[in-house]
Structure 1
């Protein structure tokens, strides 16, 4: 399954495990609440979906990467305790509470009586910790401390082909867990990437080179790999470097994409992407000021270049959609605060008028960005119609407008006839699938 399917299944599991009967007891007895074991390659988003699940289910989350811990932090520290048996005193070894279990109890005290205890890289532990992890999965305990009731165990591990230190689980352990096999999926990741505002050059590159999204290869030079985590971290750096006016060359890219050919290819494409932005004058297109030579070039351009221009247009529009969304949220907050003040006891007319004047300025700011965004969208459609005449590029353009949250909200609030027209005419779902299938075959 892909990471999106795994997320949904874990949410279902959490909901089922936390469901109670009329007597306030869990419907599925604790002994039958199998821990979830998520097995998949590194860097595909296993930790991120735990954060999303906890937030969406409104429960707590305690997450640990177990390879960062010793046996003492997982099990607890030993201490000597005096006890009496059959009239004689003996010194015995006890253990303090596990740091991990203590974190769960702190979370409970913070107001999260139910939650997820997530342990990453569980099958990559040291030899001294391996028995503890088996005990954890089989008995839901760390040392002499049980995981509190209402807390669900989710663990994640890497298949042996990705990590030399992987330890295989025996049948006894596997018979006590729910094992989910997860694979990298570009389509699912792109939906996540858009919501996280991953750099447009990366999204455009992966649209053209989908096979380079996740690669792990061993050759004479050692292990070469590219992961989803690498793309996301590279995106954050690229955006910051651009703000600082710093270049992102092949060396920098190679520090995140540990595959020489992919890093070289991606770095070359990023340079082209910036060049296309300047050559085509993307900001001018969105202002409705298209240079005559632009159409001559786009008609003769290869598909890679044409798709890059589409993504550059989408980048420019998404920046406007985000700006509009921020101003809209601020305006709504200001209006709610103004209304609350007006209805409050002791509200003074002169203070209300001052607040209203400030609100009117904010409302005008919103109207300005709203008009600019709507105009840019129409100018973008003008260019798309003249440049691509409803071809594959238009499918990509209209589909991405629909799937990014900020643009989807704007389109829901503002009627755009051409968007609705193309959305129906192009049968977005099937044509998009055909286009991506074609790109995957190349």
Structure 2
């Protein structure tokens, strides 16, 4: 199955394992709660889905790459204990709690979460001395004489032997005690993730053109060469920061992440073209509605991959604007909830500054708990930090202005909050205007051609752009979307589009400058 299906299956498994009867007993006894064994090629997102499952279900996550551990750190250290049997005193060997199990208890203490996921990566690459202990853990959920607490799902991940020479085969006894899920790479699924994550537009549009370059592992005379989903995502992060700093990512930089030279060279060439297209097609002018007729003529006559790249540039910019608007919308909702509580506490006679300090402290603590629980979603953390910063700013302003009573304090805070609401409205107007201008430009360039169908399809699939359209509307979108009312029509048109692209680009590398 693909990684999205695997994520859903793990979520379902976790929910089933944590389900209880009216007496508080687990419906599936812990002894029958098999560990999940996730097997698949490296870099397809096995670790990321564990983080997502933990965040979405509200449980804790403790993650370890088990190859970093020795027998002692995983199992614990032995010590001599005195026991009495039949009137005789015997010296026996006990074990201290292992570092891994101690981390589970630490998380429970710090967060108050009693249930979660213990994720052990590279489970089939452990050292020879540790291998028996890991098999025991998968079979019995114990390290030494210490047991994993109830309510914790063991999830382990490993790579098939064709990707790692040091892997160990599991015996039948172990395999008969685990729930094995085999995953494989799937670009369509990864693209959904990329849209939501805000992966760099050059990466997404390039892989749209070169889907066979998304994931490859090849054995050559120089050794193993590869391009993985993890490599593309990490490269995307670097490209975004490089652009902010005004730095250029050349072929050598790309090759540090995409370690298959011919793909790295091809993407580096495309990246240069991507930057060139932004300039020669004046993307900023398109989005502000001030493009020139020559831009329309040039794009109309361009090769198909160039058209896709320019649409990718537009979609990337539109997605970014929609994402910022959506975040501001969520921020306003959260602040409104906080200020409703602020108003209630003022009515109860509380001090305004003290109330804001309490509200800020509660949110800081919640953010800290989420981090300790392994629920490290970057977008959620950013939103939470923005809310904290604004509430703290409100408190500082109240200290400076020192209003005479709670009514004046509430009026001041309401006015400051109104600025955030207006910012939301302003961002929405700008994002919607950019969307309207993009449609107008593409209509002028392609008429009612297949390019518009593809553009509408991508807007629909993008979580932020679809949210923007649903929330604030877009006449051009709904007009063109009538052609996509039936899935069969959508599939047929997309097949025609990519068949034309394949015919045009067969055996052709990306055009060089």
Contact 2:428/2:472 (<8 A) preserved: no
On the 8 A contact 1:231/1:257 being kept in 2, the answer is: yes
Which sections of structure 1, spanning at least 5 residues, go unmatched?
none
Which residue of 1 is the match for residue 311 of structure 2? 310
Partner of 1:261: 262
Q: Which residue of 1 aligns with 2:472?
A: 414
Report what 2:5 is aligned to.
Answer: 5
Could you tell me whether the CA contact under 8 Å between 1:205 and 1:269 is conserved in 2? Answer: yes
- The match for 1:15 is 15
Mean alpha-carbon deviation: is it higher for 119-128 or for 82-91? 82-91
Matched with 2:211 is 210
Contact 1:81 1:92 in 2 (8 A): yes
**Is the contact made by 1:210 and 1:440 (CA closer than 8 Å) also made in structure 2?**
no
| Secondary structure at 2:166 match in 1 | coil
Q: Distance in 1 between matches of 2:414 and 2:245?
A: 38
Q: Is the 8 A contact 2:198 2:320 kept in 1?
A: no
Matched, 1:201 2:262: no
The residue matched to 1:217 in structure 2 has which SS? strand
Name the residue aligned to 2:71: 71
The change in CA–CA distance for 1:47 and 1:306 in structure 2 (over 3 A counts) is: same
**In 1, distance between residues paired with 2:162 and 2:497?**
28
Matching residue of 2:225:
224
Tell me how far 1:330 sits from its aligned partner: 3.5
Which position in structure 1 is the counterpart of 2:426? 368
Give the direction of change, closer, same or farther, for the CA distance of 1:27–1:262 in structure 2 (3 Å limit).
Answer: same
Higher mean C-alpha displacement, 315-324 vs 191-200: 315-324
1:434 is matched with which residue?
495
Q: Which residue of 1 aligns with 2:391?
A: none
Structure 1 distance, partners of 2:42, 2:97, is 30
**Contact 1:43 1:229 survives alignment (8 Å):** yes
**What residue is the counterpart of 2:172 in the other structure?**
171
* Structure 2 segments unaligned to the other structure (5+ residues): 350-404, 507-513
Q: 1:331 and 1:163, CA in 2 relative to 1: closer, same or farther beyond 3 A?
A: same
CA-CA distance at 1:431 after TM superposition: 4.0
Residue 398 of structure 1: CA displacement?
1.2
Matched, 1:272 2:330: no
Q: Output the TM-score relative to the length of structure 2.
A: 0.82
What is the aligned partner in structure 1 of residue 444 from structure 2?
386
In the other structure, the counterpart of 2:459 is 401
Alpha-carbon offset, residue 351 of structure 1: 2.6
2 CA distance for matches of 1:400 and 1:42? 28
1:410 CA drift (Å) = 1.2
On the 8 A contact 1:388/1:394 being kept in 2, the answer is yes
State the alpha-carbon separation in 1 of the partners of residues 227 and 460 from structure 2.
28
Distance 1:154 1:117 in 2: 6
RMSD: 2.0
Q: Is the 8 A contact 1:211 1:440 kept in 2?
A: no
Moved more, 227-236 or 352-361: 352-361
Shift of 1:388: 2.1
Q: Structure 1 length as normaliser, TM-score?
A: 0.95
* 1:58 aligned partner: 58
Question: For residue 322 of structure 1, what is the aligned residue in structure 2?
Answer: 323
Distance 1:253 1:164, change over 3 A: same
Q: Is the 8 A contact 1:104 1:117 kept in 2?
A: yes
1:32 aligned partner:
32
Alpha-carbon distance in 1 for matches of 2:167, 2:49: 22
1:153 aligned counterpart, secondary structure: strand
Q: Does residue 186 in structure 1 map to residue 244 in structure 2?
A: no
Instruction: Give the whole-Å Cα distance in 2 for the aligned partners of 1:417 and 1:189.
Output: 30
Return closer, same or farther for 1:90/1:173 CA change in 2, 3 Å cut-off: same
For the residue of structure 1 that corresponds to 2:114, the secondary structure is: coil
Q: Distance in 1 between matches of 2:498 and 2:105?
A: 49
Change (3 A) 1:139 1:348: closer
Contact 1:283-1:316 at 8 Å conserved across structures: no
List per-residue Cα deviations over 1:222-252 (Å, max 9, x = no partner): 1110110000100111111111111100000
Q: Distance in 2 between matches of 1:193 and 1:436?
A: 22
Taking structure 1 as reference, are residues 266 and 72 closer, same or farther at Cα in structure 2, changes over 3 Å only? same
Question: Residue 290 of structure 1: SS of its match in structure 2?
Answer: coil
Q: Do the aligned residues in 2 keep the contact of 1:395 with 1:431 (CA within 8 Å)?
A: no
Secondary structure at 1:167 match in 2 = coil
Q: Distance in 2 between matches of 1:167 and 1:437?
A: 42
* Number of the residue aligned with 1:48: 48
